[in-house]
Amino acid sequence: MMDLKKTTAPVNTVTYDRNQVDEPTENIYEAISIISRRAEQINTEIKKELIDKLEEFATYNDSLEEIFENKEQIEVSKFYEKLPKPHALAVQEWLTDKIYFRHTEEEDAQ
């Protein structure tokens, strides 16, 4: 799991050098496909982490069968709302060589 508090991924839109993005694969479409898959993984991790943290603070009221939000839940939600988007985190990981990928077609052919 990544440390979301220490991320330096941009929160706003950034223009990247295409040559830098496709350098590891020499194919921009393959690079984007890998980044996209990683962004989906990051999104799933963040969503699971958020739900787990919110459930820690949940208080259930049996009479109304309703879940009341408290201040802790609101603070946790605000923290996650301010995070960079999963695609920005994935692009940052890609550009800093933190994403492992391999060509499965080449391995199958051998």
Residue-level pLDDT, tens digit, the chain, 110 residues = 678 878 888 999 899 999 999 999 999 999 999 999 999 999 999 999 999 988 887 766 655 555 555 788 888 889 999 999 999 999 999 999 999 998 777 655 65
Cα dihedral 34, 40, 43, 49 sign = negative
pLDDT at 72: 81
- Mark residue 48 as left, alpha or beta (left: phi above 0; alpha: psi -120 to 50; beta: remaining): alpha
The C-alpha atoms of residue 55 and residue 101 are separated, in whole angstroms, by 34
